[in-house]
Amino acid sequence: MRAELNQIDTAAAGVNIVDVQDWSPVQDFAVFEREAILPLQPSVAFCKVPAEATGSIHVLGRHGFHFAEFQFTLRHRIREALDVKSYPFRWERVTTSVDLNAALELAGTIFEHDRFSTDPQFGPAVSGRRYRAYVEKSYRDPDERVYVMKRDGTDKVVSFGTLRQLSAWEVRLLIGGVASDLKQSGMGAIHDYVGLQTYYEEGIRVLHTVVSGVNYSILNLEIAHLGFRVQCSHAVLRKRYA
């Protein structure tokens, strides 16, 4: 196991947030906490463990960790091109400050199912700052990309998405979504279909992503309609230190 100060989350929340990585059920957690977590002066620590590892979850519970979020890890293989000609939208990679600002505006306001939005200690304001920072990171990072979807014939941004390139043909989808006033309108499905076709044209064939277990609409869309398959699930636990 290792503990890392999450720089982006810490800046967004204004308190030290530590991520416990590479969970090990055989390591003495009390010793690890004393030697690796506490020197980072945490306000909050997060630890993600496989959902089936109930023994590990109980160990963390005895050390003051409580449930924060449930997540599914999904995988999808794009086997053929999608017919999106009937959708009057296009995906574009973000290369200008205008499009970046549009993506940042969405990132700061549209999320509601993540563990920061639902946590009374943080709430939507911290969540919004956090997601904006992750979009900015994706814009700067050479291994990551930011896309926006626009209506044909206009420059109006209606959704955005970010990803990390794992290989020439494999990516991890990071964050994304549609404008709040377009939710429940079918735009989410269009966003995904046009995005998948864009990836296909770029040579991408395998996608991985993580979805909150309470984001039912996205889970239903990606599993039932798009063919994503569940690979594993995790419980995210958190401990408040100060």
Q: Which of 237, 210, 233 is nearest to 69 (CA)?
A: 237
Q: Which CATH architecture has domain 76-233?
A: 3-Layer(aba) Sandwich (3.40)
Distance CA 155, CA 26 (A): 54
Coil vs helix vs strand at 32: helix
Residues linked to residue 69 through DSSP beta bridges, in sequence order: 236
Q: What is the pTM of this model?
A: 0.93
pLDDT of res. 26: 85
pLDDT of res. 186: 83
- The domains of the chain are located at 2-71+236-240, 76-233
pLDDT of res. 112: 87
Please state, in angstroms and as integers, the Cα–Cα distance from residue 97 to each residue in 146, 153, 160, following that order.
Answer: 12, 20, 14
List, as one string, the DSSP characters of 116-127: TTT-TTT-HHHH
Distance CA 38, CA 42 (A): 6
Task: Say if CB 160 and CB 102 are below 8 A apart.
Answer: yes
Residue 154: its H or E element: none
Distance CA 212, CA 69 (A): 7
pLDDT of res. 182: 81
Coil vs helix vs strand at 127: helix
pLDDT of res. 184: 72
pLDDT of res. 39: 98
Distance CA 160, CA 103 (A): 6
Can you tell me which residue has the tokens 């196991």?
1
Residue 198: its H or E element: helix 187-201
Distance CA 240, CA 242 (A): 6
Distance CA 25, CA 190 (A): 42
Distance CA 200, CA 205 (A): 6
Question: What's the burial of 135, exposed, middle or buried (CB within 10 Å: 0-12/13-18/19+)?
Answer: buried
124-140 vs 97-107: helix axis angle to the nearest 10? 150
What does pLDDT average to in each consecutive run of 10 residues of the chain (242 residues)?
Answer: 97 97 91 97 97 96 96 97 94 96 96 91 94 97 97 93 97 94 84 96 97 92 93 97 87
Question: Which residues, 6+ apart, have CB-to-CB distance to 212 below 8 Å?
Answer: 69, 70, 71, 113, 114, 115
Cα 168 off chain centre by: 21
